Chains A and B, each alone.
Chain A
Amino acid sequence: METTKSRADEPGSGYEGAKLGMWFFLITELLFFGGMFLLYSVYRSKYSQDFHTAALEENLLLGSINTVILITSSFTMALSITAIRKGNKQLSSLLQAGTMLMGGIFLVNKYFEWSAKISHGIYPDSVLLLKRSSGEILFYGLYYVMTGIHALHVIIGIGVIGVMLFFTRREIINRESFVKLENTGLYWHFVDIIWIYLFPLFYLVT
């Protein structure tokens, strides 16, 4: 890349600027999910009884396990940043790998949840689902779209942490320069928080 000497000392690409930019980006992410939450709240208020019955069928145990896993992974992510600030490259790498692993387990659980539903014939536009009431059709539509898009964010997050892990090994991320890792952490916490909202909306509305 063609960064010239004089540009390197600019404040913008520095720590504060990068953090600020990341926060702005997270606002847009929040609004992106906000559109779906809007849809959810409109249909929820229109068909509250149907949403209630449909939520009973969700696998509360798997959902709770996944919630615990994601919260723990947020914690290890935060610890990995503390570790790199103290200059402990080894520990930080380990914690990042741990975070990725937990993200992976989350996805595996999601996979089992989805495939159980699909094998019961409950998926958008399926014959069985179309026989049910409007509210249930919409509930499952929202369930698949919202958890699906959330899972996509988890996948992206795992990928980005992977890159960070690589950077940590190469010492591109080190105790002086760790804003990339910090921003990744922010992103991961964001993904976590979205799940914390999704969980009650789909599993606990009964």
Chain B
Amino acid sequence: MSSFYSDTGQRSGIAGWMMSVDHKRIGIMYLSALLLFFSIGTSLGVMMRLNLISPGTFMGVHTYNRLFTIHGIIQIFLFIIPGIPVSFGNFFLPLLIGARDVAFPRLNRLSWWLYLAGAFLVLASLFLGGGALDTGWTFYAPYSIKTKTNVSLALFAVFILGFSSILTGVNFVTTIHRLRAPGMKWHRMPLFVWTLYATGWVQILATPVIAISLLLIILERFFGMGFFDPLKGGDPVLFEHMFWIYSHPAVYIMILPAMGIISEVVPVFARKTLFGYRAVAYSALAIAGVGYLVWGHHMFTSGMSDASRVVFSLLTFIVAVPSGIKVFNWVATLYKGSIRVDAPLIFALTFIFLFSIGGLTGLIQGALSANLHLHGTYWIVAHFHYVMFGGMGFSFLTALHYWFPKMFGRMYNERQAKIGWFFLFVGFNMLYFSMFILGVQGMPRRYFDYPPEYFTGHLVSTIGSWILVAGFVIVFRNLIIAIRKGPKAPDNPWGGTTLEWKVPSPPPHENFEEIPVITRGPYHYGNDKK
């Protein structure tokens, strides 16, 4: 049977891709775009690190301020938020629930176009008008209203990206409600599907709030209504609230699908059903639910009333518990398994380790008194790189290595993948762990220049970034070679039990010749019990 690569439908060439409504083609296109923006964004990160070992030598303060802003915007809005749902979600959601496509294939294509348009506008904003914006990715008013850089276009671009994200959320939630194969009850869904479901709801419920907040900033800049301008009676802190009402739930948009992938991979390599399926599934919903109520923990020093700070801190601690439940269940899944340590499992276990560090440091800064010291320092920078890069980033790499044979029909070199992992692991911890120490010492973030006592920490960190780059070069070189020359992959190289492994690699255009009928849970290994 021919794969979805050769089955082009009515159009061929570029149009066969751009006009395609096949979820797998859309997934592959998203994946390529994500990797492109990831390379651009991280390259900016490496340039920032270069400045920080010798401020002023390589760039001026204006350049630096714009670099970290664009680094943040690209990583957040073009890479990590669309991230796993649009790439692996698109490709695998229908396969995992036994469907031929998502509920609204053409809407899916529209999301993809909107994403491209948004990305294009972000890049255009760097060169038009007042040039690249310099507000930080948080766009705090009144600075974002006062600066002469091109904030309006960039915010408009983010607005469009938000629209794309909303449509993807609507599409996935409807798909999961309507298109599950016969017999796939809610408790027979693979966990990646559960997390996509929770994520979809967060996208639907949180994204509109940032859309309107950003629109208000644009309108402020053009018409000056004064909503966030104290001279006209407005309140700048209100913008912070509106921003974080979205942007805190957004961190769960980033991490939930990542957790879903870990829940898929651990059972397969332990040859064992997932420990505590229901606990893991419901904790995803709990994270999504409670995650709405904790945004104020970004504002412990903002001038908000002390009583609200106390409430937000309490809720912040509560939201950490379901993440803990997931970690414990993953570890318990390994118990009495029959474990093979292949590249995907190594990346998955690295996720657990790095995410735990990131999450636990989240607890430290979530405590009110400690936050007054740590807020706005490199401690926070370290925290979010651990959860975002160590968490979502490593989960992305897990998925890439786990599903690579299915997506491309080829195998990569296992040894190279492990060597790459080693460099990534060492480089990552050098780069970001030193930031925790810098933070405790009081090094503020978004600083172009700093007093000399912080030099050593920055030096170690920058050297780490080079090792990390080496790791990425090895990993991606390995995968790119595999796409071109790798040996053909079998349909089910890891012995997985979920539906995507029952179709050929790469899957045919129609996914399933016949829609399967589901009679048992997703991770059924072995002979005993149901």
Q: Per the CB under 8 Å rule, do A and B touch in the complex?
A: yes
A residues contacting B by CB (< 8 A) are 1-4, 6-7, 10-13, 16-18, 20-21, 24-25, 27-36, 38-39, 42-43, 46-47, 123-125, 130, 133-135, 137-138, 140-142, 144-145, 149
B207's partner among A16, A18, A28, A133 (CB-CB below 8 A) is A28
**A7-B101, A12-B104, A20-B177 given; A141·B225 CB < 8 A:** yes
23 contacts between A and B (CB under 8 A): A7-B100, A11-B178, A12-B99, A12-B103, A13-B104, A17-B179, A18-B104, A20-B178, A21-B107, A21-B171, A28-B205, A32-B211, A33-B212, A35-B209, A35-B242, A39-B227, A42-B238, A46-B233, A137-B233, A138-B233, A141-B226, A141-B227, A145-B216
Min CB gap B115→A, angstroms: 17
Complex Cα distance A137/B225, Å? 7
Enumerate chain B residues within 8 angstroms of A138, measured Cβ to Cβ. 225-227, 232-234
Judge whether A11 and B179 touch: CB under 8 Å.
yes
Nearest A-chain residue to B210, judged by Cβ: A35
Enumerate chain B residues within 8 angstroms of A10, measured Cβ to Cβ. 99-101, 179
Complex Cα distance A137/B20, Å? 50
Min CB gap A64→B, angstroms: 26
8 closest Cβ pairs, A-B complex: A134-B233, A141-B225, A12-B103, A35-B212, A125-B224, A32-B208, A2-B9, A31-B208
Min CB gap A186→B, angstroms: 14
Complex Cα distance A51/B156, Å? 30
Enumerate chain A residues within 8 angstroms of B173, measured Cβ to Cβ. 24
Enumerate chain B residues within 8 angstroms of A39, measured Cβ to Cβ. 216, 227, 238, 242
B170 in the interface, Cβ–Cβ < 8 Å?
yes
Complex Cα distance A4/B306, Å? 60
Q: Give the interface SS of chain B, mostly helix, strand, loop or mixed.
A: helix
Nearest B-chain residue to A50, judged by Cβ: B233
Complex Cα distance A13/B104, Å? 6
B290 in the interface, Cβ–Cβ < 8 Å?
no
Enumerate chain A residues within 8 angstroms of B11, measured Cβ to Cβ. 2
Judge whether B204 and A145 touch: CB under 8 Å.
no
Complex Cα distance A33/B20, Å? 34
Q: Which residues of chain B from 186 to 245 have any CB-CB distance to chain A below 8 Å in the complex?
A: 204-209, 211-213, 215-216, 219, 223-227, 232-235, 238, 242
B233's partner among A11, A24, A47 (CB-CB below 8 A) is A47
Complex Cα distance A189/B208, Å? 19
A6's partner among B100, B209, B223 (CB-CB below 8 A) is B100
Nearest A-chain residue to B512, judged by Cβ: A6
B102's partner among A12, A133, A140 (CB-CB below 8 A) is A12
Enumerate chain A residues within 8 angstroms of B235, measured Cβ to Cβ. 42, 46
Min CB gap B95→A, angstroms: 15
Complex Cα distance A47/B227, Å? 13
A13's partner among B103, B204, B242 (CB-CB below 8 A) is B103
Enumerate chain B residues within 8 angstroms of A20, measured Cβ to Cβ. 174, 177-178
Enumerate chain A residues within 8 angstroms of B224, measured Cβ to Cβ. 124-125
Min CB gap A37→B, angstroms: 10
Most buried by B among A24, A47, A124, A149: A24
